[in-house]
Structure 1
Amino acid sequence: MKKFSLLALFSLAAAFSFNAQAADRVGDFFLIDDEGKGHQLSKYAFNKAVVIVSQQNGCTDNQQNIARYKQLRTNFDHRGVSFVMLNASDEDSREDIIAEEAVWNYDLPIMDDDSQLVAESLGIEKAGQVVVVDPERMSVLYRGPMPAQWARAPLGEVLEAILADGADSRDMETVNVDMETAEGCAVEFPARDAHLADVPDYETEVAPILIERCTGCHVEGGIGPFAMNSHMMIQGWSPMIKEVIMTNRMPPMQVDPTVKTWVNSGNFPIEERQTLIHWINAGSPRN
């Protein structure tokens, strides 16, 4: 492992089961939090790291670790680390998230990942997981629990490593630490699992969404920068299509539905976003 104290990490092996691998990459994304404020990962690039805590209403792991989250933030937020939570539960509405915060006072922004697509990209599988991301390199450096003694655990080691003088996350790996699923912390991903088992069909599922949501502009002579006039064209542009969907840049004129809606808004239904992104993740197949 590079940029880490191997002796320090291996001395933790008896208490923590972890492994390191080439750093996972994550794409940019945009989410709205419980106060209606927007968060885009790339806009955190002025920081050395972003700590993302997976949250779900009723998760005992979240509730029992509130003091530790706040202590971790106190120790690192003045050193160039930002802290947010992410709720990817398909059962928790924005109103539910707001109510949970009012009771438990996490005192962290709780991003509402209603499509679950950001949690999927971060490799989150349960509430209570902590993910450390380098927002400039878009790399995941830690994925695991919030330990009681974080300073002597891989989480603390990773944060200190990225903040060290001369540190470069290109020399760092993703540290994955095993953790159990606490009561109320299991997160189900029904759309992901369904699309992994049966990839969305281009002709009957994907193309109709593109025709309805995109081809008003993306046609020959239209204001879109390319025409969605063939599968080959769409497949070639699929990385860009994924990026603009994940950052809410497209379709244009999207409005937070908890604030205001109107008939011609560009809001992208959750099911359609999931279908398109999962199809792209599968390689944008023709059949």
Structure 2
Amino acid sequence: MALLAAAALSINAHAAPERVGDFTLIDDTGKAHQLSKYAFNKAVVIVSQASGCSMNQENIARYKQLRTNWDHRGVSFLMLNSSVDDERADIRAEEAVWNYDFPIMDDDAQLVANALGVTQAGQVVVVDPVRMNILYRGPMPGQWARAPLGQTLEAIVADGADSRQMDTVTVDMEEAEGCALDFPVADQYVAEAPDYETEIAPILIERCVGCHVEGGIGPFAMNSHMMIQGWSPMIREVIMTNRMPPMQVDPAVKSFKNSGNIPTEERQKLIHWINAGSPRD
């Protein structure tokens, strides 16, 4: 009974599912993955990964078994590397040694990890790519079929399943060797949001205002804080999906003079400022 009570305390279900916005990331092979493009599936399983994480390495067979059991039932599988210590080359090297055989998305700005609530490598997140609801966040258990992970997958693939009627199940997990993730930028901006006048406005002027002016080709003019604040959810979405600015090229592959890429530091400032409510002061 004591063990059952302890297990119950380690699992938290929310009254309504948490949500995540759409995003696009490039994987270790250079392929782009946009969450909404997986809407032909009933669920997407995302495994947080980091080079040297013992939990990832020990669970490789379980990941592949899970995929074998579920990929024909409308579930896709991805990995997410959000480690500040890993470059694209490190991700490729880890894959070459351990043969995860999963696309490993490179979350260099850590913005997707923040949105998914990922706190460490080895964590598994289940998302409904249609409703953008987070249904499970927790470990990869040994007996996954009878654990909350398997129960969540069974529930979402069932006939007539509606993730809006499901809860986000969060299961506590212990940290394993090499699996810790640090989020220095997020911690910095939680303590103090970026300043609009000195940090945000200069980025918008440099990257966006050339098109977003009165009579310009942008659909709205960035001519006031109120206007930017009102459009901030859309701004966040187009940045997270790499739709804006246009003409972005994966910097790990090629770069050119007039590329529309926004530097990682600027993307982080913009998204964390919007997440803080787009404050004026």
Kindly report which structure 2 residues correspond to 1:191-230, keeping only aligned pairs within 5 A, or say none.
191-230=185-224
Partner of 1:42: 36
Kindly report which structure 2 residues correspond to 1:45-124, keeping only aligned pairs within 5 A, or say none.
45-124=39-118
Kindly report which structure 2 residues correspond to 1:237-248, keeping only aligned pairs within 5 A, or say none.
237-248=231-242
Partner of 1:184: 178
1:159 to 143, 153, 174: 153
Counterpart residue type for residue 185 of structure 1: C
Partner of 2:266: 272
Structure 2, gaps ≥5 residues long = none
- After superposition, the Cα gap between the structure-2 partners of 1:12 and 1:83, relative to the gap in structure 1 and judged at 3 Å, is farther
The SS at the match of 1:173 is coil
Identity across matched positions, percent: 78
1:26 to 20, 25, 28: 20
- After superposition, the Cα gap between the structure-2 partners of 1:224 and 1:12, relative to the gap in structure 1 and judged at 3 Å, is farther
Counterpart residue type for residue 103 of structure 2: P
The SS at the match of 1:108 is coil
Cα deviation, 1:20-53, whole Å, max 9, x if unaligned, reads 0020000000000001001000000000000000
Kindly report which structure 2 residues correspond to 1:131-170, keeping only aligned pairs within 5 A, or say none.
131-170=125-164
CA distance in 1, matches of 2:5, 2:74: 28
**TM-fit CA distance, 1:15:** 4.5
Would the aligned equivalents of 1:12 and 1:153 in 2 still touch at CA under 8 Å? no
**TM-fit CA distance, 1:14:** 5.1
**TM-fit CA distance, 1:12:** 6.3
CA distance in 1, matches of 2:166, 2:118: 20
Cα deviation, 1:90-110, whole Å, max 9, x if unaligned, reads 110001100000000000000
Q: Normalised by the size of structure 1, how large is the TM-score? A: 0.95
**TM-fit CA distance, 1:68:** 0.2
- After superposition, the Cα gap between the structure-2 partners of 1:12 and 1:55, relative to the gap in structure 1 and judged at 3 Å, is farther
RMSD: 1.1
**TM-fit CA distance, 1:19:** 1.1
Counterpart residue type for residue 159 of structure 1: L
Structure 1, gaps ≥5 residues long = 1-10
Q: Normalised by the size of structure 2, how large is the TM-score? A: 0.97
The SS at the match of 1:218 is coil
CA distance in 2, matches of 1:150, 1:15: 15
**TM-fit CA distance, 1:13:** 5.5
